[in-house]
C-alpha cells in the first residue's frame, strides 16, 4: 500500500497494473485540508479490510503535468484509476461514501446474481440497481458498455430469469430492468427509458449532499435544495430561475436545455478559469479567517505589512532625491539680481577696507 506517494516513483510504474484511489489537492485549498483526516481514514480502512485498492494523494500544483494528464481542474479532485480508465468521484466527501464508491468501481462492471436469495440480498442493500436478464445478445453488449461509464453512480448486475423475485414479470427476453424502492421498471428498447417523458439518453440523474462542489463551479452560493443541469464536457450549467414545484415544470426546464432556449452559464474558457481560480483563492482565505482569525491575520497581515514598509521606503527615497535635485537647480539658477547684489556688497566691503587703511596711514603721519 502507498498512502502518500511520489508520482515518479511507484505510481507511474504500477498504475496500469493496480487500482489507485487518488486525491489531487493544492496546499492552499481549504476544502483539501478539511478532507485530509477523512482521506487518511479511507486509506486505513481499505488497508485493514485487505482491499487491493491503493490509496494516495498528489500535490497537483507541484506535479501539474500529471494533474493535467488526468484532467484535474479543481481541488480536491478524487479519481479512481483502473487500468487506462479514470473515474471521477463527485459524491459526498465522507469516509463511507468514498469507500463505497471505490469498492463499487474497482470491482466488476457487471456483477452476476446466480440465485434468488442473492438477488433479494442485493435489493435490501441498494436503493437503486440495474439488472440485465437473459443470455448473450447485442443488448447485453450495449448494457456492459453503458455500465462501464455509469458504474460511478450505481451498481449493474446480470441474472437469469429463474433468479428474479416472484413479483417480476417480463414481457420479453433479453431485457433490462431498474429496481428502486422495492418496485421495478422495464427498459422499453426505444432509447427513451421507462417513461418516455424525459430523454434519459441525454441526461444522467443524481443527487448531491451539500453544495460545496456546485458553489465552486458557479462561483456563488446555491440554496439547498436546488436543481441544476451540468454539461460536464465543458463545465457549462443551467439554473432554473424559480423553485421547482411540479413535474411538468421540471420536464419543461429539461426540454428548454435540449432545444437551446435555456441560457447556458459558466464554461471552461480561459476567462472562466481565471475567475474560478480567483474565487477558490478568496474562498480559501475566508475559510482560514473563519476557522482561525489569528492565524489568518498572521498569514496575510505579515506579508502586507512588509510590502507596505517597502513601498513607504521607496516613496520616501524618491521624495528625498527629488528635494536635493530641486535645491541644486535653485542654486544653479539664481536670479541675476541676486548675483549683482552679491558683487555690490563685495565692492562696498573692499572700499571700506581701503578707507580704513587710508585712515590708519593718516593717523600715523599726524603722530
Residues classed as catalytic: 29, 32
Beta strand segments in the chain, E: 19-25, 53-59, 77-82, 85-89, 111-113, 128-133, 155-159, 175-180, 183-186, 228-231, 236-239, 265-266
The residues, ordered by sequence, that sit 6+ positions from 45 with a Cβ below 8 Å of its Cβ are: 95, 99
As given in the structure block, the three cell numbers for residue 101 are 464508491
φ/ψ (deg, to 5) at 177: -130, 145
Q: Are 83 and 16 spatial neighbours (Cβ–Cβ below 8 Å)?
A: yes
φ/ψ (deg, to 5) at 159: -155, 160
The residues, ordered by sequence, that sit 6+ positions from 205 with a Cβ below 8 Å of its Cβ are: none
- Dist. CA 225–CA 178, nearest whole Å: 26
Question: Distance between alpha carbon 230 and the CA centroid of its chain, in Å?
Answer: 15
Virtual CA dihedral for 140, 141, 143, 145, nearest 10 degrees? 170
Amino acid at each position: 500500500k502507498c498512502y502518500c506517494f511520489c508520482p515518479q516513483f511507484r505510481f507511474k510504474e504500477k498504475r496500469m497494473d493496480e487500482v489507485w484511489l487518488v486525491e489531487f489537492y493544492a496546499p492552499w485549498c481549504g476544502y483539501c485540508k478539511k478532507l485530509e483526516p477523512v482521506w487518511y481514514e479511507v486509506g486505513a480502512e481499505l488497508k485493514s479490510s485487505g482491499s487491493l485498492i491503493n490509496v494516495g494523494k498528489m500535490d497537483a500544483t507541484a506535479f501539474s503535468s500529471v494533474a493535467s494528464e488526468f484532467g484535474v481542474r479543481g481541488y480536491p479532485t478524487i479519481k479512481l484509476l483502473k487500468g487506462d480508465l479514470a473515474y471521477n468521484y463527485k459524491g459526498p466527501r465522507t469516509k463511507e461514501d468514498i469507500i463505497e464508491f471505490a469498492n463499487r468501481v474497482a470491482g466488476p462492471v457487471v456483477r452476476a446474481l446466480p440465485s434468488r436469495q442473492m438477488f433479494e440480498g442485493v435489493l435490501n442493500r441498494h436503493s437503486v440497481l440495474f439488472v440485465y436478464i437473459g443470455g448473450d445478445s447485442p443488448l447485453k453488449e450495449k448494457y456492459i458498455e453503458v455500465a462501464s461509464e455509469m458504474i460511478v453512480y450505481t451498481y449493474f448486475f446480470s441474472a437469469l430469469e429463474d433468479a428474479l423475485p416472484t413479483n417480476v414479470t417480463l414481457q420479453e427476453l433479453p431485457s433490462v430492468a431498474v429496481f428502486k424502492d422495492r418496485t421495478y421498471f422495464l427498459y422499453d428498447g426505444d432509447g427513451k427509458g421507462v417513461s418516455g417523458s424525459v430523454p434519459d439518453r441525454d441526461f444522467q440523474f443524481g443527487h448531491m449532499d451539500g453544495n460545496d462542489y456546485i458553489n465552486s463551479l458557479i462561483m456563488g452560493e446555491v440554496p439547498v435544495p436546488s436543481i441544476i443541469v451540468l454539461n460536464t464536457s465543458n463545465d457549462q450549467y443551467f439554473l432554473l430561475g424559480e423553485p421547482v414545484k411540479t413535474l411538468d415544470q421540471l420536464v419543461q426546464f429539461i426540454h428548454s436545455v435540449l432545444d437551446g432556449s435555456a441560457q447556458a452559464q459558466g464554461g471552461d474558457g480561459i476567462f472562466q478559469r481565471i475567475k474560478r481560480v480567483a474565487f477558490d483563492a478568496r474562498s480559501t482565505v475566508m475559510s482560514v479567517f473563519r476557522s482561525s482569525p489569528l492565524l489568518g491575520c498572521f498569514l496575510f497581515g505579515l506579508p502586507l505589512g512588509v510590502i507596505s514598509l517597502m513601498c513607504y521606503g521607496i516613496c520616501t527615497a524618491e521624495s528625498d532625491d527629488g528635494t536635493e535635485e530641486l535645491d541644486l537647480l535653485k542654486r544653479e539658477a539664481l536670479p541675476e539680481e541676486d548675483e549683482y547684489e552679491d558683487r555690490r556688497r563685495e565692492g562696498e566691503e573692499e572700499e571700506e577696507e581701503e578707507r580704513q587703511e587710508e585712515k590708519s596711514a593718516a593717523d600715523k603721519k599726524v603722530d
